[in-house]
Structure 1
Amino acid sequence: MSNKKKYILEGEGLPKWSNPISHAVVVNNMCFVSGQLSVNSDGKFVSGTAIKEAQLAFSNFFAAIKNAGFEKEDIVFIDIAFNDLNDLPEINQLFVELFPESKRPARTIYQAEALPFSGKIKITGTAVKDLD
């Protein structure tokens, strides 16, 4: 099997990055999404409550996988970094709303001392398409 790669640098619903990174990289049937933050379409960080930042970060995450040709149901792993684990109950509620029980991806959570832009949350993950 050859390793065909596709780099998602921009696309519909994705913020413009000032950083030299890809939103996502596709290798064969896998999509690896870089850390998504509360960044609007202009590339500006939007500070707010943890839940508000998480909503925008998840929106960017979903836009990254869509632009890579994947669906929300293809997400198999989510990694969430918080600057304060006291925000976990609210984020858990959002996670339940975004992912129905039968399609909930594996997840890790951890507290990070510092996140880019002094943000409250960063979301990273992986999506995998079923091979026909």
Structure 2
Amino acid sequence: MQQHNIIINTKNAPDPLGPYTQAIEINNIIFVSGQIPICPDTNIMSDNIYDQTHQALLNIKNIIETTGLKINNIVKTTLFIININDLPKINTSYKNFFNTYSFSKNITLPARSCVEVSKLPKDAKIEIEAIAMREFL
């Protein structure tokens, strides 16, 4: 089987802060690099963890929509957070985001891991990466 790699970049998400792409597609699987909650239009990041969670997910949504996919195609996310005590607010924002942007009333939330870390780029409180699949709905 021949492997097809497609580099994915959009102006609707922040530019990478280092030597990596926003996402790459390999054989119908899209791997989205970790997104911190920078608004691509203003280059500003909220200080509120609820809003940061929403913005990081919005950046992911904008990246995968570049490929013609929707958030329902996301099968796995990984959250990197600097304060585990923020998890209740993060969970509320996360659930509200998927319920708001899903094209199905009964969305199955993606599998998820959550890791507390000591620091994130630009002093973000959260970074989220995602995996989406073309064949999954």
TM-score normalised by the chain length of structure 2: 0.85
- Structure 1 residue 94 and structure 2 residue 93: aligned? yes
**Unmatched segments (≥5 aa) in structure 1:** none
Superposition CA RMSD, Å? 1.9
How far is the alpha carbon of 1:44 from its aligned partner? 2.9
Q: How does 1:110-129 map to 2 (within 5 A)?
A: 110-129=115-134
- Identity among equivalent positions (%) equals 28
- Is the Cα contact below 8 Å between 1:45 and 1:117 reproduced in 2? no
- Structure 1 residue 81 and structure 2 residue 80: aligned? yes
Distance 1:125 1:18 in 2: 17
- Is the Cα contact below 8 Å between 1:83 and 1:114 reproduced in 2? yes
Distance 2:80 2:45 in 1: 17
- Return the letter of the residue paired with 1:80: L
Name the residue aligned to 2:3: 3
- Is the Cα contact below 8 Å between 2:31 and 2:130 reproduced in 1? yes
**Unmatched segments (≥5 aa) in structure 2:** 100-105
Q: How does 1:1-132 map to 2 (within 5 A)?
A: 1-9=1-9, 11-41=10-40, 44-100=43-99, 102-130=107-135
Runs of 4+ in 1 over 6 A off after TM superposition: none
Deviation digits for residues 42-61 of structure 1 (CA, Å, limit 9, x no counterpart): 58351411111111111101
How far is the alpha carbon of 1:12 from its aligned partner? 4.7
Task: Name the SS for the 2:96 alignment partner.
Answer: helix
How many matched pairs? Answer: 130
Please say which of residues 28-37 and 101-110 is displaced more in the overlay. 101-110
Task: Name the SS for the 1:103 alignment partner.
Answer: coil
- Is the Cα contact below 8 Å between 1:16 and 1:43 reproduced in 2? no
- Is the Cα contact below 8 Å between 1:18 and 1:43 reproduced in 2? no
